[in-house]
Structure formats: structure tokens, C-alpha cells
Amino acid sequence: MRSVEVVEGSEAVALAVKACRPHVISAYPISPQTHIVEALARMVANGEVSAEYVCVESEFSAASVVSGASAAGSRSYTASSSQGLMLMTEVIYASAGMRLPFVITGVNRCISAPISIQIDHQDAISLRDSGMIQIFVESVQEAYDAHIAAFKIAEDPGIMLPVMVCMDGWILTHSYEPVYFTDQSAVDSFLPPFKPENFLDVDNPKTWGSYAEDDVLMEFRYSIHKAMQYAKGRIREIFHELSILTGRDHGGLIESYRTQDAEIILLAMGSVAGTVKEAVDMMRSKGKKVGLVKLRCFRPFPHEDIWEAIKGARVVGIMDANFSMGSEGAVGLDLKAKVCGRPSAPKVIDFIAGLGGKDLGMQSIEWIAQKAEEALYRDEPQIEPCWVNLNPAIVD
Amino acid sequence: MKITPGAVVKGGTSLAYKTGGWRDEKPVQDLEVCNSCGTCKEVCPENCVKVIEDRYSIDYDYCKGCGLCAHECPVKAIQMIAEEK
């Protein structure tokens, strides 16, 4: 294989997983994730990957297989989307609680009903509180690199949590991009074999997730929170280490784009960040001081890094491709919670943008930046979220 | 004592954990009435009825006092007696 090739996003993810030498892969097909696991199934069948590929009848079973395999000390991988992630939810909460460090690709797609195969982040956001680490990527190249980092993050002895790499369906999984690959020897030096302290062993039987009463249950939640806090530093270090190895730097917990002197900062996750960068350049050429914070790591929430990037701005417009019905978007809620009360904090406005694949072009992003700027000249705070490209005329 | 990440504990400890302490009613046999039919052994969900020297005997270390044996006994040889602690 050459060091750079034009490949489909799903193939690139499968090649990254292959390079990580997984022992167990289990998945159930669902659009738009299917090509990833089809590619891995082909690689296993051809003997290119020496993993056990476990065919299952549902996503619940796929998550259960990788959870059990991980407890047995195997490097394990699965992928899913939308309804499939919903069906995995119970197992993912339990796996995080049992500190089982498998990697899962969350190919982002909206959730039924109404049924749709279009993109938004509602599926991944619905797993926000599970104790799983969530990393969002912008491009196919970033998806390839992030999967290699994900295993190292998950298996860090101080972390030991499942890691989900979230990538937008279709836009990333089904588009072809030139992708630079990392040498197998370099991946091997970066990612040592998985050797957990505890693993299922008939000669030394152990129980995972054993019964916890009211005197310790809360302490278990707190211990995962502590691992999440510790993970922030390790994720920065691991991404940095990988960037030195590959020569490709996608940022740490966040990526700041032209934020240095920006008065208006947009904050986005996933593939839309690429369009926002173009829009920022376009607005800059018109004299607008606009920048972008791309949130790479959603859980743990890197509010310290975000604050450093936005503290000099006057207004932050968050682009939430998810919506908590009856409230607002998840990133908006998080950032407001962490920014409110800080002295000289910029105004924070939540934009609900891109639900169900609603297109977000350069004009939409310029509109968001304008709305954010207009809010600066109003005295009252913008409490309610702002809906982008909404057509209220067709709503009763 | 510190908690272990993942609530990972040594396995195979069921025997060491005597669940009989959960009981508030104790099944007491009248061996004069018992006809050794074995129904109590069949229905016990905890496998607490053992055959010892040809008699059916209840293992109070693990009997949780559910009362199934007393309910099912065809000759009413088992009474549930309240236990005081």
C-alpha cells in the first residue's frame, strides 16, 4: 500500500482499525456505517486482519460482544449509527461503568421518528452521559488518525473507558479523499499491545460491575469523572505524540482557527467545521473579525481550552447539530454552564443548525455570524436558541 | 477500603456470602409428618434442600425464607416460623 491513496472514508477507518491490530470485531450493519464493517469483514476473511469477526443479530449483541471481549483482555472494535447506537445504549453505559476500553465509531445520523438517514449529531449526543469519551472529526484524514489515537486513549491505565470516534455519515463515510497512511511499524511503536491489569481468567475468576449499594455507587460515578478529568491532559498529549509521528496536527481537545483577534467566534463539531473555515476566510476578507473553535473532544468537555480560545471575543455562536427538545442544544448548554459567571465572558448564543441533514452552506454560516453580531447590540440576553434555515411556515 | 475501578472483584464468592441472613421467616420441618417425597427439594429456588442420611434437610446458611417448600409440601410437614433478630 502506498503512503497516500484516494479512498472512501469508511475504507480509511477500516484501515486505521486494521493498523491497530484488533483481536475482536463485532458489528451489525446500519446506514451509513455499513461500509466500515463490510471492509473489516473483508479484511478478516482475506486474512489481512487476524481478528475474530463475530456476526450478531443486533447492535445490542455487537456491543455486548466487544464489551465481553474487552473484559477478556482483547482489543475490541465496533461501529454503529442512529437507531443502532440507541440499541447499544444500555451496554455502553455498563461498559463505561466496568471500565472496558473498546473503540466504537459513531457514524452520526439522526434518530427516528420521522425516519431519516440524514446526518445530525443526535445519536452521539444521546450517549453523552454514558461515561464514554467522544471525539468528533472533521475530515476523513482526521477520522483515520483519530481512530489510532482512540485505542491509546481508551487503554491508558488512568482512563480505561470506551472511546467513540464520531464522524458524520455520508459526508465523511462515503466521500473519497486523499488519505495519508501511517506505517504499520510506526503505529506499533505508538500503540503497544493491550495489557489490562484485570482480565477474565478461569484460573483467577473475577466479577466486573459487581453490586454496589448506596454507600459506594456515587463514588463510582465520581471515579469516572476523575478519569475524564485526567483524560483531558492525556488526550492532548496523545494527539500531540501522534502528530509528531505522522506530521499531521489536527489540534488537541479543540482546534482554534483564526481566533487570535476574533470578536465573533463560531463553535462547531464535525464535518461542518471545514465549511466554517472557508466561511471564516470569506468573512475575514470582508473585514469581519471572525474565528472558529472546532470542538474535537465533546466528552470530557474541554471548557478550559475553549475559555482560553474565546475569552477575548465579544460573542460566541454555537452550532449545535442536536437539540434537547424543551431546552436547547447540548454544546450550548455545556458552554453556558461553564462560561456564565466568568468575568468579562462573551455573550453565548446557541444556534440549532443542521438537524436531519439540513444543509449548512457558506451563506448560512455568514447568517449565523451576523445574528451573533446583532446580539451584541441588544441589551437583553439571547436566552432562546436561534434556529438556522428553519421554515416555520410549514409548522402548525 | 478503596473502590476498584470497574467494580472488579474476586469472583466465585457466592459460598462465602451467606444469604440466609436475608430471611425473616424460617421453614421448620416436622420430620414425623414428612414422607420424603422430595417436593421441597424440587421447588427450592436456592437449592437449599439437601438429602442427608436419607432425610431432607434445609441449609439455613443460604435459605432466604421464600416459603415455596412450605406452600408446596403435600403433607404440610413444613411451617414458616417468624425469625427474630
For residues A171 and A287, membership in a common domain is answered with: no
Angle (CA) A286 A287 A289, round 5°? 125
Q: Is residue B55 part of a domain?
A: yes
A184's CB contacts (< 8 A; 6+ apart) are A19
Contacts of B11 in chain A (CB under 8 A): 205-207
Contacts of A212 in chain B (CB under 8 A): 7
Which candidate, A210, A212, A220, places its Cα nearest to that of B12? A210
Which candidate, A107, A147, A104, A105, places its Cα nearest to that of A123? A107
- Which among B3, B5, B8 has the least Cβ separation from residue A206? B8
- Which among B3, B6, B12 has the least Cβ separation from residue A208? B6
B-chain residue closest to A93, CA distance: B6
DSSP assigned state of B24: S
Full-model pTM: 0.91
Last residue of one domain, picked from the residues A228, A246, A264: A246
For residues A220 and A87, membership in a common domain is answered with: yes
Q: Is residue B22 part of a domain?
A: no
For residues A230 and A268, membership in a common domain is answered with: no
Asked if the Cβ–Cβ distance from A206 to B6 is below 8 Å, we say no
The Cβ-side half-sphere exposure at A3, using a 13 Å CA radius, reads 7
For residues A278 and A390, membership in a common domain is answered with: yes
Contacts of range B29-37, beta carbons closer than 8 Å, 24 or more positions apart = B29/B56, B29/B58, B29/B77, B29/B78, B30/B77, B30/B78, B30/B79, B31/B55, B31/B77, B33/B75, B33/B76, B33/B77, B34/B75, B34/B77, B35/B74, B35/B75, B35/B77, B37/B74, B37/B75
For residues A81 and A45, membership in a common domain is answered with: yes
CATH code for the domain of A173 = 3.40.50.970
Q: Is residue A129 part of a domain?
A: yes
Cβ-based neighbour number of residue A229 at 10 Å: 10
For residues A180 and A294, membership in a common domain is answered with: no
Q: Which domain holds residue B37?
A: 31-85
B14-73 pLDDT, tens digit each:
888 899 999 999 999 999 999 999 999 999 999 999 999 889 999 999 999 999 999 999
CA A36 to chain centre: 16
* Overall domain count for chain A: 2
Report residues of chain A scoring pLDDT below 50.
none
**pLDDT for residue A1:** 54
CATH code for the domain of A339 = 3.40.50.920
Alpha carbons A6 and A141: distance in angstroms, whole number: 11
Last residue of one domain, picked from the residues A246, A280, A296: A246
Q: Is residue A72 part of a domain?
A: yes
- Which among A99, A216, A219 has the least Cβ separation from residue B6? A99
Alpha carbons A262 and A316: distance in angstroms, whole number: 10
CB A230, CB A82: distance < 8 Å: no
Across residues B6-20, what is the average pLDDT? 88
For residues A272 and A152, membership in a common domain is answered with: no
CB A351, CB A319: distance < 8 Å: yes
User: Which amino acid, A52?
Assistant: E
Best of A95, A99, A201 to mutate (most B CBs within 10 Å, chain B): A99
Q: Is residue B52 part of a domain?
A: yes
Chain A / chain B CB contacts < 8 angstroms: 41
Asked if the Cβ–Cβ distance from A209 to B6 is below 8 Å, we say yes
Distances (CA, A) of A279 to A265, A312, A332, A372: 12, 21, 21, 15
- Which among B3, B9, B12 has the least Cβ separation from residue A223? B3
How near does any CA of chain A get to the CA of B1, in Å? 11
For residues A265 and A226, membership in a common domain is answered with: no
**pLDDT for residue A293:** 98
DSSP assignment of A202-231, as one string? TTS-EESS----TTTHHHHHHHHHHHHHHH
CATH code for the domain of B84 = 3.30.70.20
Q: Is residue B12 part of a domain?
A: no
Q: Is residue B47 part of a domain?
A: yes
Q: Is residue B23 part of a domain?
A: no
For residues A216 and A67, membership in a common domain is answered with: yes
| A218 Cβ under 8 Å from any chain B Cβ | no
For residues A33 and A154, membership in a common domain is answered with: yes
For residues A230 and A277, membership in a common domain is answered with: no
Asked if the Cβ–Cβ distance from B6 to A160 is below 8 Å, we say yes
Chain A stretch 75-114, residues whose beta carbon is closer than 8 A to a beta carbon of chain B = 97-100
Contacts of B9 in chain A (CB under 8 A): 206-207, 210
Q: Is residue B21 part of a domain?
A: no
Q: Is residue A251 part of a domain?
A: no
Asked if the Cβ–Cβ distance from B6 to A205 is below 8 Å, we say no
DSSP assigned state of A90: H
Last residue of one domain, picked from the residues A219, A246, A273: A246
Q: Is residue B18 part of a domain?
A: no
Omega before A392 cis (within 30°)?
A: no
Q: Which domain holds residue A182?
A: 4-246
* Overall domain count for chain B: 1
Alpha carbons A235 and A220: distance in angstroms, whole number: 22
For residues A291 and A189, membership in a common domain is answered with: no
Asked if the Cβ–Cβ distance from B8 to A98 is below 8 Å, we say yes
| A206 Cβ under 8 Å from any chain B Cβ | yes
